[in-house]
Structure 1
């Protein structure tokens, strides 16, 4: 083991009183060195009697996980479909300390508290198992009162078993190897706690934002077996706010249900994403019976906010909101587990808000306390789920069902006071017994009215649903996976149902991996060994030098796809919001580089937060138009809208449009109506038109909308001259659709041939404009490609404006093309329109290429040149650029290929 493991020693704990000693609550910090031993075969449990009073043979430092100390099976494998855990451990592991329970704790209730562990924790006092808890989502709080004696030394042994305790789906993000690892250990706070026998076991606060009151519901444990009386003194504090109120308490039951209400006054501030005003409520419980006095203090943070269901939107404090969010998939490669510290979550949520977002859905898992604290602080709306996925609803497995029942209640109890926790869903894409799903949802609604509840994402509805996260409703599509070559569309029909609809896992367009990220995993419990496989495959196919270009070109396409996907969501006035599959890459179930951030939440250099906020923010300028590609004698018409879910309407706003050329010169500009731009919706602000400039050259123009100078958005359009003729042969250049004897003879004569076969006459893959969905390992459907690398510096594109990546002017070309497999060509042979293959195969693919064949010069473009060409200006312009090129002295291919390669992909 590493030198982090200290020499074996069993320490007797030093007693430390907590800050709140006056409240008679005392704590001992349990972090530090513990005895440790693995138990792969699970022999120790069940035979822990006097023979096993010996001390464990290793040591470990807690909080921590076994991976930190290279404990377990050293994996030699390179998993293709996920990151590879360096040291795998699944089974019971034992942690041990000898400790003296302070004599001052006599008469108190004694607990051992672990903030988060994985999955089952069992406590043994000396030789006896005294408590076990199997929560996944909430802390484990073991009561040891009846099993330890104050003033006595005990051997405390903890068994943590991270095996699956129930027959649950192996993909849920709470304990899968596919995102956060299935770690073994204890994280966060770990402590012994002693409280008086009368204490507040649970305190839940229910704000009323209209009356400016907060109702307090408490469960008070009374272990005296006597009548107790006393008072609960509530202190509520916030920024420049303090209030105290005393309420009487009495009862003789073992559990006393207490309810009280406190008027906060007109100065109480509400909580939302823009004004995350927080309050701390402290209850000082002071009680007595006929013999003794008892004290206990309980505190919680809360916000004055109310969540209700509107027709299409979720309402916060009776105001419609629109959720701009991402799915949190428990991706934490740096540690292997979800952070338990505030700083890590503050960083994540700050990055999220810097990109204009206000929401996270925690997909099939519940985050740690720190996530709720920081979401409260920063104003981020959370949807929380249990570790429930797919078939977890099937087979009427009562032990598994009971686990989910306990988990639901635990989540609502532990995190219920957090104002950021606005939505609860049982889990992801559940199948099976929907009576059980309804039971869970109804139970949530009946027990907690502070948030909205839903049965499952993207599957069958249940009666108690108050919102619905889905890709499809009975009325139509309810999410957006890719953009279109025009913007005059939305998903209003599919999202206008009886509950607010949030678009499920929006986007999901896969980019090519960035192999430079391999180095980021150096000090992590996981490694990107799958990247090594992909990289080796690319090298074997002779294209390793293109790795960075592939990553940047496909990543650039991801960015403008996200722009279109998000704008379509914003244009949809009936949408309650959207959740991107992931704003950061998702290294699971095949590895999905779908984000603009890497798995560590670092920028991939594709877009700045400032530019992302141009189309994802509380206020966004939107533009509807019919197409992106025009002839130069046409007119561009745009219908401008403003998406506004900011804090206020935009009265007398200045709304300006302008069209600029590639050099930034303003060709035309104008103003639109700025009055009447309301709030909490999408508002039309006018239409404008522009007669496009006639030019015999291709042009790329930019249309920009500006609101009050500080809010802007822009869209590129392409303008082409009309061409009456294309593919005109000369004595020197032969245009042909077939590779026949005439073409062969032309090449043998040292002349030029341009072969543009119809796609149905070409063996190869279907051409697609969009990158593959999610990832090509998980979904094997055709065409398995990730966009194109355009060799934009090639002179063939002199008259066709393009970047190295696809953009919307390529839509028509790619939609009417065929992808040729070029595996058997020389390494130095590169198509100028190079299709990027999936990273698990890395074949050389292309749509357009040039080569020396026999004594002649050949250019091939596998594109349809017959169908509706009069309405395909971009395709015409590409042909024009090719024509100018092949008829010039610049057409001089350097790489020679065999004629048999041409014949191999042509269908006779």
Structure 2
């Protein structure tokens, strides 16, 4: 009996040469006619060897690749084909390459493959002679082979780079002429069986007889079955149902039971005997379309996910090793998520293996985006091949739950429907969708979007209250997942620059932003800007996620994203940096209070209160865990900033189901015992192990506001009286109406996505509160904005302050976009004409009886300016004051 598959590992040193002239296409003595004089180590990419154009630029809208190379590159090796391989099929296998790989044996082109998402497996049988040494010259061409969108994440320079090279396993393989080409496993959880669909390739041109012996192994599980195989066609297809028995276990996020099925094929052709073996991993998992949710094993799943945009600055390419994917997916799971969408690309096998192991649900896409559905038959055919290849290569993995063609597609949706319908027909183990966030097609089984025909399902930012959801908008004919939720921008952390020392890319844009900030006199505030804007983003993510958890008819959400997106303008929207390292903004434990299989939720109508009001909370429990909660003890409490419990109580002990969101009772807290302005925290717990909390602010009514005295003048206009007051060395509090102030719109939220790509006003990234200044002695605040600032900031105007002295820092400082870095403020103080001036560009007239936080800020300012601490030292010319006021 001939031995089965044999391999030669081809990793190591190869001959190498670039080809910017593209001699192959120009018929100008192509590289394969010569022995290549340079060398390169594979697996690897050209960037690892500093090959290409040494980039002198500092790209603003993305990380800068240190050495750019796009074009053909040639890799060469002389290999002796073992004489024992006579009669076998011989392949050269590249696990992942980018984009077109062509192989020349000696001086003849013999194979060409242009898949992006799956390995390239070149059949060289007819072109090599066992016992002979051949020169193999491989051309890798990373140029766009079709007119596809230049931002798709399989190729883009904006996240992973458009690398040239070969990654993962690189090997020469020999198999017997009767071998298993494909093995697909279709679980049936109703009767604990699997249907195995096999394709055997027969190159003998003769009748084949033999057996296929299946072995299934898992934890405490082993089963064997043998079936007969026979046929005479070049492709022999057969299938068989294997009963697995009662000891087989299901696969899901809570119980990721993975099994390995191995088929040993023993065949006879005339007097020759052949053997081949193939193994694949699978899980006993079925996915179906529910009314509002994806069903896994007939149970609703709520997708708590992030978008993976191929952000791998350490290497410049998606890792192909298990260890790195295990690290990434464990981090994601630590933050309470169970789902990852691969935006316009498909990950390598290691990602699927680790998701299988850890219980993560994947949505996989082709490298398809934007206008890729517009008519172009060559491009269409590429996508047709690519989709089938993805389903064949990765379809057995239980983690592969959802398939979508691509991102935000436009063009001919008849073609999108064709792809989607074909996918459903080819492989029923996944749910299929035509496109994210664009036109629906008939064959859609789920939909990822910002909007349905019933309204917006997107949640990009929070609100200062929680009694809202996206139920009505989500309740359509397919499960709806909220598209790219979150996206609140954080000021860059310039400390990250050093992390790129050994990467193929550098954060040179950070250097530009840093230098600009230094030129504008605020470099010493860089880290404060990062911390303050980052803290606000954490506040926003909590609100965004909880809104979607409250939405029981939502199928889930996909954050964009938990880690930074360093392209398309550079979008530092993550609580993790591009390396999947924590930014130090929030712990995984704290994040999980709002993002986990079981979360305590609370609906309430506002965050800021007068102390004669009553706080009312409506408690809910989001429970998409694997079990109901029996005899749940539900507790609530109110604590002050020191942690002292002011009030507490219990809701009715009750059973809480799972796979839904459950109201569990209401409670009210009179606030009349709060006599001083305070930040309080409302806590809710279930059986003491599920905990969540929300901050509220309580203020006295402060009946008397903005009362002038002989020493302090309150005014909304900078008139002769105000000037005279200052000239006399006295105090003026200028509270101009925002519509009378030149400047930018004020907003609570930090900028959406990033200010370079979406350059819409006001181009600001939250506020830095100088909370240690005495002006805030009677206004409870941290260094960053929280929901008590909502009313203040939504009724204010941002003053351009770049022309003031460098030492002047507004106490209420607005953080400008990092590609502008101007000094901005809503509140500041200065010495003007010998007098003491405090300016606050906040509306102090509109509905003041409904604005407790604004009233308290004015009260704090009043006590400050009427005390002896108000003594601004920085002198500002009167012309500056007049410059931002409308006449």
TM range (shorter): over 0.9
Partners of 2:693 and 2:711 in 1: CA distance: 44
Report the CA distance between 1:45 and its aligned residue: 5.1
**Correspondence for 1:376:** 356
Q: Does 1:584 align with 2:576?
A: no
Partners of 1:713 and 1:554 in 2: CA distance: 23
Partners of 2:3 and 2:728 in 1: CA distance: 100
Matches within 5 A, 1:145-544: 145-394=125-374, 396-544=375-523
Partners of 1:844 and 1:76 in 2: CA distance: 30
Partners of 2:28 and 2:786 in 1: CA distance: 67
Q: Count matched residues.
A: 887
Asked if structure 2 preserves the Cα contact closer than 8 Å seen for 1:113 and 1:140, the reply is yes
**Correspondence for 1:713:** 692
In the TM superposition, what whole-angstrom CA distance separates every residue of 1:638-682 from its partner, at most 9, and x where no partner exists?
A: 000000011100010111000111111111111112313100000
Asked if structure 1 preserves the Cα contact closer than 8 Å seen for 2:32 and 2:104, the reply is no
Report the CA distance between 1:44 and its aligned residue: 3.9
Q: Does 1:827 align with 2:806?
A: yes
TM-score, normalised via structure 2 length:
0.99
Residue of 60, 79, 102 corresponding to 1:122: 102
Report the CA distance between 1:699 and its aligned residue: 1.0
Runs of 5+ unmatched residues, structure 1: 1-20
Partners of 2:675 and 2:736 in 1: CA distance: 28
Partners of 2:120 and 2:795 in 1: CA distance: 59
Asked if structure 1 preserves the Cα contact closer than 8 Å seen for 2:32 and 2:106, the reply is no
**Correspondence for 1:771:** 750
Q: Does 1:25 align with 2:14?
A: no
Residue of 84, 99, 108 corresponding to 1:104: 84
TM-score, normalised via structure 1 length:
0.97
After alignment, is 723-732 or 456-465 more displaced?
723-732
Asked if structure 2 preserves the Cα contact closer than 8 Å seen for 1:49 and 1:127, the reply is no
In the TM superposition, what whole-angstrom CA distance separates every residue of 1:397-431 from its partner, at most 9, and x where no partner exists?
A: 00000000000000000000000000000000000
Please give the secondary structure, in 2, of the residue aligned with 1:597: coil
Mark the CA change 1:46 to 1:231 in structure 2 (over 3 Å): closer, same or farther: farther
Mark the CA change 1:725 to 1:387 in structure 2 (over 3 Å): closer, same or farther: same
Report the CA distance between 1:54 and its aligned residue: 2.7
Partners of 1:166 and 1:745 in 2: CA distance: 73
- RMSD across aligned positions (CA): 1.0
Asked if structure 1 preserves the Cα contact closer than 8 Å seen for 2:24 and 2:31, the reply is no
Please give the secondary structure, in 2, of the residue aligned with 1:146: helix
Asked if structure 2 preserves the Cα contact closer than 8 Å seen for 1:384 and 1:425, the reply is yes
Report the CA distance between 1:264 and its aligned residue: 0.3
Partners of 1:49 and 1:266 in 2: CA distance: 65
Report the CA distance between 1:49 and its aligned residue: 7.1
Partners of 1:689 and 1:345 in 2: CA distance: 46
After alignment, is 673-682 or 888-897 more displaced?
673-682
Please give the secondary structure, in 1, of the residue aligned with 2:789: helix
Q: Does 1:67 align with 2:47?
A: yes
Asked if structure 2 preserves the Cα contact closer than 8 Å seen for 1:23 and 1:297, the reply is no
Mark the CA change 1:904 to 1:158 in structure 2 (over 3 Å): closer, same or farther: same
Partners of 1:294 and 1:609 in 2: CA distance: 54
Report the CA distance between 1:290 and its aligned residue: 1.4
Asked if structure 2 preserves the Cα contact closer than 8 Å seen for 1:49 and 1:128, the reply is no
In the TM superposition, what whole-angstrom CA distance separates every residue of 1:326-376 from its partner, at most 9, and x where no partner exists?
A: 000000000000000000000000000111100000000000110000000
**Correspondence for 1:864:** 843
Runs of 5+ unmatched residues, structure 2: none
Report the CA distance between 1:53 and its aligned residue: 3.6
Asked if structure 2 preserves the Cα contact closer than 8 Å seen for 1:718 and 1:809, the reply is yes
Please give the secondary structure, in 1, of the residue aligned with 2:864: helix
Matches within 5 A, 1:717-732: 717-732=696-711
Q: Does 1:809 align with 2:788?
A: yes
Please give the secondary structure, in 2, of the residue aligned with 1:676: strand
Asked if structure 1 preserves the Cα contact closer than 8 Å seen for 2:609 and 2:698, the reply is yes
Report the CA distance between 1:52 and its aligned residue: 5.4
In the TM superposition, what whole-angstrom CA distance separates every residue of 1:559-603 from its partner, at most 9, and x where no partner exists?
A: 010000000000000010100011001101000110100000000
Asked if structure 2 preserves the Cα contact closer than 8 Å seen for 1:694 and 1:721, the reply is no
Asked if structure 2 preserves the Cα contact closer than 8 Å seen for 1:180 and 1:332, the reply is yes
Partners of 1:628 and 1:802 in 2: CA distance: 14
Please give the secondary structure, in 1, of the residue aligned with 2:212: strand
Asked if structure 1 preserves the Cα contact closer than 8 Å seen for 2:14 and 2:77, the reply is yes
Report the CA distance between 1:47 and its aligned residue: 3.9
Report the CA distance between 1:693 and its aligned residue: 3.4
**Correspondence for 2:576:** 597
In the TM superposition, what whole-angstrom CA distance separates every residue of 1:581-626 from its partner, at most 9, and x where no partner exists?
A: 1100110100011010000000000000000001100000000001
Asked if structure 1 preserves the Cα contact closer than 8 Å seen for 2:769 and 2:784, the reply is yes
Please give the secondary structure, in 1, of the residue aligned with 2:629: coil
Asked if structure 2 preserves the Cα contact closer than 8 Å seen for 1:699 and 1:720, the reply is yes
Partners of 1:729 and 1:23 in 2: CA distance: 98
Report the CA distance between 1:24 and its aligned residue: 1.4
Please give the secondary structure, in 1, of the residue aligned with 2:631: coil
Partners of 2:232 and 2:17 in 1: CA distance: 45
**Correspondence for 1:3:** none
Please give the secondary structure, in 2, of the residue aligned with 1:564: helix
In the TM superposition, what whole-angstrom CA distance separates every residue of 1:719-745 from its partner, at most 9, and x where no partner exists?
A: 000022211100000000000111001
Partners of 2:813 and 2:30 in 1: CA distance: 71
Residue of 655, 658, 661 corresponding to 1:682: 661
Please give the secondary structure, in 2, of the residue aligned with 1:439: helix
**Correspondence for 1:883:** 862
Partners of 1:892 and 1:851 in 2: CA distance: 8
Asked if structure 2 preserves the Cα contact closer than 8 Å seen for 1:508 and 1:594, the reply is yes
Please give the secondary structure, in 1, of the residue aligned with 2:495: helix
In the TM superposition, what whole-angstrom CA distance separates every residue of 1:836-881 from its partner, at most 9, and x where no partner exists?
A: 0000000000000000000100000000011100100000000000
Report the CA distance between 1:291 and its aligned residue: 2.5
Mark the CA change 1:48 to 1:203 in structure 2 (over 3 Å): closer, same or farther: farther
**Correspondence for 2:650:** 671
Please give the secondary structure, in 1, of the residue aligned with 2:858: helix
Mark the CA change 1:150 to 1:476 in structure 2 (over 3 Å): closer, same or farther: same
Partners of 1:370 and 1:723 in 2: CA distance: 62
Residue of 87, 95, 101 corresponding to 2:67: 87
Asked if structure 2 preserves the Cα contact closer than 8 Å seen for 1:23 and 1:284, the reply is no
Partners of 2:32 and 2:281 in 1: CA distance: 44
**Correspondence for 2:604:** 625
Partners of 2:26 and 2:80 in 1: CA distance: 25
Report the CA distance between 1:806 and its aligned residue: 0.2
**Correspondence for 1:906:** 885
Asked if structure 2 preserves the Cα contact closer than 8 Å seen for 1:48 and 1:128, the reply is no
Please give the secondary structure, in 2, of the residue aligned with 1:851: strand
Asked if structure 1 preserves the Cα contact closer than 8 Å seen for 2:561 and 2:574, the reply is yes
